[in-house]
Each structure stands twice: as C-alpha cells, then as structure tokens.
Structure 1
Amino acid sequence: MSNPEKALADLGLQLPEVAKPVAAYVPAIRTGNLVYTSGQLPFRDGALIATGKNGDTVDAEVAVDCARQCALNGLAAIKALIGDLGQIKQVVKVVAYVASTPDFTGQPQIANGASELLGQVFGEAGQHARAAVGVPVLPLDAPVEVELIVEVA
C-alpha cells in the first residue's frame, strides 16, 4: 500500500502522539534498514485503555483493542523516527506480550488486534512473522504490550 496514513484515515484512525517512555529507553531505534520499537503499551490520550489480566478482569474484545492501540503507538514511534510511514517496505515481525492468567490460552487472538491493523494499513507489506507470548504481568499492569520491527527504504 503506497499511503499508509491514508489507509489509517480510511479506517477512521490517526496516529497518536508518541508515548513517553516509562523508563530509560527510546521509543524506536534504527539500525541499517530496520527500525525496532520498544514495547508499546495501550496508551490512548495519555492513559491506559485497560489494566489487568486476560482470563480474569480484561475482556477479550478490550484486549484486542489494546493490541491495536499498541500497534498504532508503535507506528507513531516509527514515524517520529523516519518521518513518513510510506518509507516502510515491510513489517518484519510483531511480538505481542499478553498479561494472562495461567489457564488463558487466547494470546494469538489478542495479538490479532495488532496484526490485522498492520495488514489493513500496509496490505501485503503488512504480513509479518509474529510471537504472542503469555506473561504474568506487564508494566503499569497493562494487559498487552507490542513490539514492531519494520524494514524501511
């Protein structure tokens, strides 16, 4: 897809401000033709969309929305670094960390919130390798955290 920001607008979405790091790191870094984002939490308008664990207090629909917001936040961090999302040639990998109860096994479906958004925005270039990992707790008690790796021109 040649214009990712138009694709976002067509979906009724816009990139948020880059989330401020909650510790000692940068939101994204480039090495060669790859950009790696730090783990992005589901901040929207300066606050977490939800807190808690999947399989307990967090509804699956809310968690999918959190994963989607994490991906948007990652794209915002990438754009702040490279200037134009049109420079993204390929989404290479997505890693989704899903705060879960021990018996929760729906991590892949939660991660689809990020993956499906990237496919809608970048088309074939949005197809990526992925890991969806269940963890006991995430920073600030967020239910989802997502990292992106993209190849840029």
Structure 2
Amino acid sequence: MSTPEERIRELGLELPEPVPPVASYVPTARTGSLVYTSGQVPVVKGELAVTGKVGAEVDAEEAARQARICALNAIAALKAEVGELSRVARIVKVVGFVASAPDFHGQPQVINGASDLLVEVFGDAGKHARSAVGVAVLPLNAPVEVELIAEIA
C-alpha cells in the first residue's frame, strides 16, 4: 500500500510548504497523541486565488475546490509537525467554515471538498467526524477555512 505522500503525488498534487501564520498563533498544537491544525484558508504560493462569499461571488463547486486546497494546506501543517504522514493513525475531526451569502445553505457540500481529499490521501483513516458552518466573513475574505484534529500513532 502506498504512503499518504505517494497518494498525494498519485492525485497529481504537490504538498505545499506550510502556510505561515497571518496573526498570533502557531500552525499546529500537539497534546498527547492529538495534533490540532489552525484554520487553513486556500492560500496557494502565498495568495488567495478566490475571495468572496459562497452563493454570491463564489459558486459552490469552486468553493469545494477551495476547501480541497484548505485540506491540502492542513495536511502540509500536519506533516511539518509529525514528519511522515504515515504516522497519522486517523483524522478525528474536521471543522469547515464557509463564508456564506445569506441564502446559501450548501455548506456540507462545500466542505466535502476537504473531506473527500482526506479520504483519498489517508484511506479509511481519513474518515472523520465533521462540522460545516456558515459564517459572515473569513480572514482575508477567503470563501472557506478548514481545520482538523489528527491522531498520531
């Protein structure tokens, strides 16, 4: 069976460098066997390609693609903390935030972009509990933000 890093490459993706914090926090915090990532926005090479509210300036399909980028950034932060992604025993919980137009109700489908990538990368260990929450605005006017909790073997 291939490693999570190999599966990322097989998906045609490249694991980015961890996104540096934009405020007073650290990218990850570890306690016991759990690693918590800070919220990750869809930054690619230092920039957001998409901004705005989902259901207004951003459609749900694009927002799901952006949630996938958020998850990839969370995986990068996780790898920086633990070294090898094969040490991840399980993705325990994902929390996804969607900057939503007032009449947008598809937050779960948007955050599926992140959830699906985690299962593609970690297999059954990527299946997780989850919350998908609509919010008025996110940092940097990002359409989505994703954080996760991982158990480390």
Query: Which range, TM-score by smaller chain?
Result: over 0.9
Cα contact 1:26–1:38 (8 A) shared by 2: yes
- Cα drift, residue 49 of structure 1: 2.4
Task: Give structure 2 stretches of 5+ with no counterpart.
Answer: none
Residue by residue over 1:6-47, the C-alpha shift from the partner in whole angstroms, topping out at 9 and shown as x without a partner, is 111110011101101110000011100000000001001110
CA distance in 1, matches of 2:142, 2:88: 28
Structure 2 residue aligned with 1:152: 152
Matched, 1:130 2:130: yes
TM-score, normalised by the number of residues in structure 1: 0.98
In the alignment, what sits opposite 2:25? 25
Residue of structure 2 in register with 1:6 after alignment:
6
- 1:141 corresponding residue in structure 2: 141
Separation in 2 of the partners of 1:110 and 1:66?
9
SS, match of residue 61 in structure 2: helix
8 Å CA contact 1:2, 1:86 repeated in 2: no
CA distance in 2, matches of 1:135, 1:23: 20
Q: Distance in 1 between matches of 2:111 and 2:101?
A: 16
Residue ranges of structure 1 left out of the alignment (5+ in a row): none
After superposition, the CA RMSD in angstroms is 0.9
Residue correspondences, number: 153
Deviations 1:47-87 (A, max 9, x none): 01210000100022211111000000001001111111110
Measure, in 1, the Cα distance between the counterparts of 2:80 and 2:129.
24
CA distance in 1, matches of 2:45, 2:65: 14
Residue number in structure 1 paired with 2:51: 51
CA contact (8 A) 1:40 1:147 kept: yes
| Identity across the alignment (%) | 63
Letter of the 2:93 partner, please give it.
K
Mapped to 1, the partners of 2:149 and 2:16 lie a distance apart of 19
1:67 paired with 2:67, answer yes
Q: 1:136 to 1:54 in 2, by over 3 A?
A: same
Find the counterpart in structure 2 of residue 104 from structure 1: 104
Q: Moved runs in structure 1, 4+ residues, more than 3 A?
A: none
| Residue deviations 1:77-116 (CA, integer Å, cap 9, x gap) | 0111111111000000000000001110000000000000
Distance in 2, matches of 1:2 and 1:59, equals: 34
1:81 aligned residue: 81
Write the letter of the residue equivalent to 1:104: F
